[in-house]
Amino acid sequence: MTDSNDKSDINLLAGSLAYAIKQAQVRCYEILFDFYGPNALTPGRMTALCLIGVQPGISQSALAELLKVNRASVIKVVNNLQALGFIERRPSPSDKRSQALFVTDQGHGELRRLTAITHDYEELVAAELTAAERKTLFRLLAKTAINPARPLSGRAED
Amino acid sequence: MTDSNDKSDINLLAGSLAYAIKQAQVRCYEILFDFYGPNALTPGRMTALCLIGVQPGISQSALAELLKVNRASVIKVVNNLQALGFIERRPSPSDKRSQALFVTDQGHGELRRLTAITHDYEELVAAELTAAERKTLFRLLAKTAINPARPLSGRAED
DNA sequence: TATTGTTATACTCTATAACTATA
DNA sequence: TATAGTTATAGAGTATAACAATA
């Protein structure tokens, strides 16, 4: 039993593009945590801060959808960024249920700081790639894992 | 304040290769969970099962290192796979402290089943890519995020 | 002394359910 | 009736610390 000569059933990792992507992503996070240090914003919070910066006045629900977490989960992220002084909630003028999110001056300062050091981080991530290869990798990643069941953020059968 | 005309501080996501990799990885997981269904092994357990299949007799500590989790965390994975009947612990002949891990016949059946359906999953992930593009993507991902601080699985300063 | 496996414990992330106030 | 935000709670996943057995 458990004849190790037959390896035909265990090749799913070696040939898997999805696994190669996962491995690269894990390596990125290793570099990220080394690079930004233990006191930095987590990747998810950094992303949230950027998204609010790009879409000032975004609602929490819309932010949750972009982050692909639910409304309840996004609240801790928003609370945390607000407690750090990086964003603020303002009542939406058009919908009294909704909170509009904005990056504060302090938050913009943090974004500028992050942008500066992120450039070096990105250089580290792409250190072994030429400029042409980086462009190609970008293009191919964008074409990868387009989910036919979720064409517009949300399953078709929902 | 929070002048949204100045977008110079918020470009870190749009141009980030690391973020593009993360996004592709998240899309892969969306497809994966849709494809394998709610009763499937989690990706981490699938990976563990494959790794034990590839390296029969591997110790829990060595498996933890490959999975990049610590000794305590790997125990739940091993317990789960053992409870499902997919692997077994055998006392190591060379080191009485160590447990040697082996895939059972049932586990090999599961691996064969996974390999068969994973082929279709991989087709879905790479649906928009030509064969040449898949090969290129593989090659470029392997060159991405090589962590200079962790040349041999473990930080240099450890 | 160091390492392997283990347990207990805690922390983070995320989800579900139920609630309120609006729409 | 449906939606936005919130709270309470629970379930994964992972980490640290401490321990017994062995190296």
d(C-alpha B2, C-alpha A152), whole Å: 30
Q: Can you give the pLDDT at residue A92?
A: 96
Q: Can you give the pLDDT at residue A35?
A: 93
Q: Categorize the per-residue pLDDT at B149 as very low, low, confident or very high, splitting at 50, 70 and 90.
A: confident
- Per-position b or e across A97-120, b if 16+ CB within 10 A of its CB: ebbbbbbbeebbebbeebbeebee
By residue count, chain A amounts to 158
pLDDT at residue A70 is higher than 50: yes
The Cβ of residue B107 has, within 10 Å, a number of other Cβ atoms equal to 22
Residue-wise pLDDT for A3-60, tens only, equals 444 555 557 899 899 999 999 999 999 999 999 988 899 999 999 999 999 999 999 9
d(C-alpha A30, C-alpha A111), whole Å: 21
Residue-wise pLDDT for B93-142, tens only, equals 999 999 999 999 999 999 999 999 999 999 999 999 999 999 999 999 99
Least confident of A51-55, A93-97, B151-155: B151-155
CB contact under 8 A, B104 and A1: yes
Q: Can you give the pLDDT at residue A9?
A: 54
pLDDT at residue B146 is higher than 90: yes
pTM: 0.91
- Strand D at less than 7 A from CB of A59: yes
User: Is residue A96 less than 8 Å (CB to CB) from chain B?
Assistant: no
Q: To 5 degrees, how large is the angle CA A29–CA B25–CA B37?
A: 130
Percent of chain A with pLDDT over 90: 82
Q: Can you give the pLDDT at residue B148?
A: 78
Residues 9-38 of A with CB under 7 A from strand D: none
- Which helix (H) or strand (E) element contains residue B100? strand B99-103
Coil vs helix vs strand at A152: coil
Residue-wise pLDDT for A105-158, tens only, equals 999 999 999 999 999 999 999 999 999 999 999 999 999 999 877 654 433 333
CB contact under 8 A, B133 and A143: yes
- Strand C at less than 7 A from CB of B75: yes
- What mean pLDDT is predicted for residues A67-93? 97
Here the contacts of A2-11 (C-beta below 8 Å, separation 24 or greater) are A2/B56, A2/B102, A2/B103, A2/B104, A2/B105, A2/B107, A2/B108, A4/B56, A6/B108, A7/B53, A7/B54, A8/B112, A8/B115, A9/B53, A9/B108, A9/B111, A9/B112, A9/B115, A10/B50, A10/B53, A10/B54, A10/B111, A10/B115, A11/B115
The pLDDT mean for chain B works out to 89
- Strand C at less than 7 A from CB of A42: yes
d(C-alpha B59, C-alpha B75), whole Å: 11
Could you tell me which of A111, A59, A61 has the C-alpha nearest to residue A85? A111
Q: Categorize the per-residue pLDDT at B10 as very low, low, confident or very high, splitting at 50, 70 and 90.
A: low
Nearest to A21 among B6, B141, B143 (CB): B141
Q: Can you give the pLDDT at residue A7?
A: 56
pLDDT at residue B31 is higher than 90: yes
d(C-alpha A17, C-alpha A144), whole Å: 9
Q: Can you give the pLDDT at residue A114?
A: 94
d(C-alpha A43, C-alpha B131), whole Å: 33
Position with higher pLDDT, B32 vs B155: B32
The Cβ of residue A18 has, within 10 Å, a number of other Cβ atoms equal to 25
Q: Categorize the per-residue pLDDT at B8 as very low, low, confident or very high, splitting at 50, 70 and 90.
A: low
- Strand D at less than 7 A from CB of B96: yes
Q: How far is B96 from chain A (nearest CA, A)?
A: 22
Q: How far is B22 from chain A (nearest CA, A)?
A: 6
